[in-house]
Structures are given as C-alpha cells and as structure tokens.
Amino acid sequence: MGVPVTGHRSLVTVFDMSRIASTFEALKKQGRKALIPFITAGDPAPEFTISLMHALVDGGADVIELGVPFSDPMADGPVIQRSSERALKHGVSLKGVIELVRKFRAANASTPVVLMGYANPIEAMGLERFAEAAKAAGVDGVLVVDYPPAEAEKMVGLLDARGIDTIFLLSPTTTNARLEEVTRLGRGYLYYVSLRGVTGASHINLADVAAGVGRVQRSSRLPVGVGFGIRDAATAQAVAAFADAVVVGSRLVQEVENAGPDELVERIKTVLSDIRRAMDQPREKTPA
C-alpha cells in the first residue's frame, strides 16, 4: 500500500507505510500542511458522495474524512446533525459508506480516506467484519468519536492487523497522563479538538490552540491535525502555521446544505480551493 515516494527510503519502507503516513511524509518534504476536509457520506444523497470526494481532491484535499451517519451524533453540532439526518433519510448505512469508498478508490488510488463516526453502527456490523470490509474497500483510517483509548484496544488491534490507522481525538482538557495513552494507541495522525464544544462551534482562540498543539507535538511523533471551529481560509491559514493538518468539516457541510444540486460539487471545490490557497501562502507571522 502507499504511493511510491522518491527519496532516500527503500521501496520496502515506502510500501510498508500507510497511505496516510506517506501523504504526510510527502507534504513534509514539500513544506506544506495537510488539508483534511470532512463531509458526511450520503449527504445530501448517496449519488453525490463520490463526485464530492473527487471535488475535494481537486480542491486540494490531502486526506478525506468521510462521516458515517448515525442517529445520535452526540459530539456534533446542528450542522453535522442535520447532514446525518439527510443521509439517514436515504437509508445510508455503514455498509453503504464502505461501498462508496470502494467506488471512490477504484478511481483514486492515492488520497487517504478516513471514516469518522460513532461506535454503534460499527458494533452492529461486528468489529472484525467491519475491519475486513474497510480493508477490502481501501479505507485508510478510522476515527470513532465515542471510543476513547480505554474502550478501543480491541478495534485498534483488528485495524492494525490490516494496516488501517486508528485516529484519536485530543482536547484542550486532555491531561498529560492520557495524552500518553492516546499517543500509544494513535496511528496516522492525532486530531486535536480546538475548543470545548461540539463540531461547528463559532470561534477558536488561536493562541490557546497553538499552545495545545505544541504540547501534543512534543509528546508524539505523529502529525497533529486541528479541527472543530475552523470556518474560513484565514483561520485555516493561521492554524496551518503551527499544526500539521487542518480539518474543515461543518463549514463544508453547511455549503452542502445550502447549495442546490446543480452547483453543489463545483461549490465545494471552490470553497476548499480558497482554503488550500490560503494555507499554502507563507504567513508573515505566527500567533503566540
């Protein structure tokens, strides 16, 4: 697995690397930061998802986080809640989401896809069956919002065995003791939640986030992405100055909600391109 990367590493190492790791490796060499957009699979309807994923890649996505809709998204704000409800109206299931990834993967062999969702649909499918199906479809990472490390060991083992990365959340309230536990089990990248709240909350304090990300970076070799509350190109640019990746979710999902079916795909590409351009521009000064 993995895109061939030229450089000093041996081919064996390159092909042992996960698609996520090699993506971050390549970006690092280019001195760029990863842009990780999130959309909910099946929103506004399943037939849009694959086109939207390709539009995200065209707009500059390095990794795609694909939300698996759930009836009770406890950690999400109203925007992503509504997107889940739209997808569920179309009967989108975890099995259906994995099938969408398989179809996307048939046309795109390089962009890593991370499934992000809640534990129950995975447990209903069965952890092992899920790991197997995800592997077969070309899923690269899994982030289960309500599986903190203490409850996730079994899944991490099953995913590790198949070369799929388990992504964990970290937050401003994560103690150093638990940071150690998360970095022990975390694979691919760490997802730093920028604020106390749910997805799509209004604003973040850049200096606080920079300090928090610094704390994580000092204790782990994994790249650190920042998400929750990054709504515009300027914030993305500011966060990219210190974080390894920027996750943009609710903003895009809001665009999906507001755009008409004809303009939807183009709209998403444009919004993401603006963010990408800002992130790639060198910034004069960094906060804090």
Instruction: Give the per-residue contact string, 105-124, with other proteins (x = CB under 8 A; - = no).
Output: -------------xxxxxxx
User: Would residue 146 show up in a list of annotated catalytic residues for this protein?
Assistant: no
User: Which CB, 41 or 233, lies closer to other proteins?
Assistant: 41
- Calculate the alpha carbon distances from 117 to 75, 96, 121, 122, 225 in Å: 10, 14, 8, 9, 17
How many helices, marked H, and strands, marked E, lie in the chain? 13, 9
Instruction: Give the per-residue contact string, 165-194, with other proteins (x = CB under 8 A; - = no).
Output: ---xxxx-xxx--x---x----------x-
One-letter amino acid for residue 23 of the chain: T
User: Which CB, 226 or 272, lies closer to other proteins?
Assistant: 226
Examine residue 95 and tell whether it contacts other proteins (CB under 8 A). yes
Alpha helices in 31-77 (DSSP H): 46-58
User: Would residue 76 show up in a list of annotated catalytic residues for this protein?
Assistant: yes
Do the beta carbons of residue 273 and residue 35 sit within 8 Å? Answer: no
Examine residue 48 and tell whether it contacts other proteins (CB under 8 A). no
Q: Which of 16, 47, 58, 76 is catalytic?
A: 76
Examine residue 273 and tell whether it contacts other proteins (CB under 8 A). no
Q: Which of 9, 32, 50, 93 binds other proteins (CB under 8 A)?
A: 93
What's the rounded Cα separation, in Å, for the pair 67 and 63? 13
Name the residue among 267, 165, 168 with its Cα closest to residue 227.
Answer: 168
Q: Which of 36, 61, 125, 252 binds other proteins (CB under 8 A)?
A: 125
Q: Which of 43, 62, 65, 165 is catalytic?
A: 65
Instruction: Give the per-residue contact string, 62-81, with other proteins (x = CB under 8 A; - = no).
Output: --------xxxxxxxxx--x
Examine residue 162 and tell whether it contacts other proteins (CB under 8 A). no
Q: Least distance (Å) from other proteins to the CB of residue 59?
A: 27
Place of tokens 């993506």: 23
What's the rounded Cα separation, in Å, for the pair 211 and 286? 12
User: Which CB, 85 or 274, lies closer to other proteins?
Assistant: 85
What's the rounded Cα separation, in Å, for the pair 78 and 100? 24
Q: Least distance (Å) from other proteins to the CB of residue 42?
A: 12
In this structure, how many other beta carbons lie within 10 angstroms of the beta carbon of residue 234? 11
Examine residue 85 and tell whether it contacts other proteins (CB under 8 A). yes
Examine residue 18 and tell whether it contacts other proteins (CB under 8 A). no
Q: Least distance (Å) from other proteins to the CB of residue 169?
A: 4
Q: In what order do the strands lie in the sheet with 64-67?
A: 165-166, 141-144, 113-117, 64-67, 34-40, 245-248, 224-227, 190-193, 168-170
In this structure, how many other beta carbons lie within 10 angstroms of the beta carbon of residue 157? 13
Do the beta carbons of residue 192 and residue 228 sit within 8 Å? Answer: no
Interface with other proteins by CB under 8 A: which residues?
A: 70-78, 81-82, 85, 88, 93-95, 118-125, 145-148, 150-151, 168-171, 173-175, 178, 182, 193, 196-198, 201
